[in-house]
Structure 1
């Protein structure tokens, strides 16, 4: 039943269920009204299936709420003002910070990659330090 639920639920990435993507049409609903079959064994099996489906839905909702609770605890969006280094908010959990032109990386980050500013006297380096092949910072020669 869990497999059937997964394969017949619309996924946000594709906009359709895996069943629909594979077969080209929406799946039929597995609908049963208690007492509509004369076979007592089948009636009991279908009632049990409906009870399990209800329990699965309830457990999935609890798990989603639990995941949301912990994600919200880690996610500072909406809780703090944007720093002066943040240019804009992109979507609900991504930010575009001010980066140096020399930093050749993608300029949009998930909120989990951002850290709280430590204080007013803490400033970023104006340029990245030189490093060797192993990633160690090369000393800068100031005078001979």
Structure 2
């Protein structure tokens, strides 16, 4: 059985594999969140506080790549989706503690995926591709951030 998602199809047969992978990865990230707070201080500060900076960065990148690969396998490539979620999360978060930022990013990510889908199919009764809307707003957010910083 295939579920239609924003112009793309999510294969239900992948859910028994994807759901435990995502659950375990999220649990590992949340368990590592205190060390992520230390890692965000930088290489010198985290090393002096007793955290192996290189291992922490590689470990975090591996966990994030698992999450991104599962989302790509289920929904397809969404270029600016992750950037849009992170940007909106840090704009909305009053604190940079990863124990609070992760659940907020989960909620914002869900709203970014479900919001356009709901409005497109249930309010406007249109049959367009939702990923185009997400990419449009993600690209605009990327340009805004890029122009504010004036550098890559």
Q: TM-score range with shorter-chain normalisation?
A: under 0.3
Bigger-Rg structure (1/2): 1
TM-score scaled to structure 1, two decimals? 0.26
Larger relative helix fraction: 2
Structure with more contact order per residue of length (Cα contacts < 8 Å, sep ≥ 6): 2
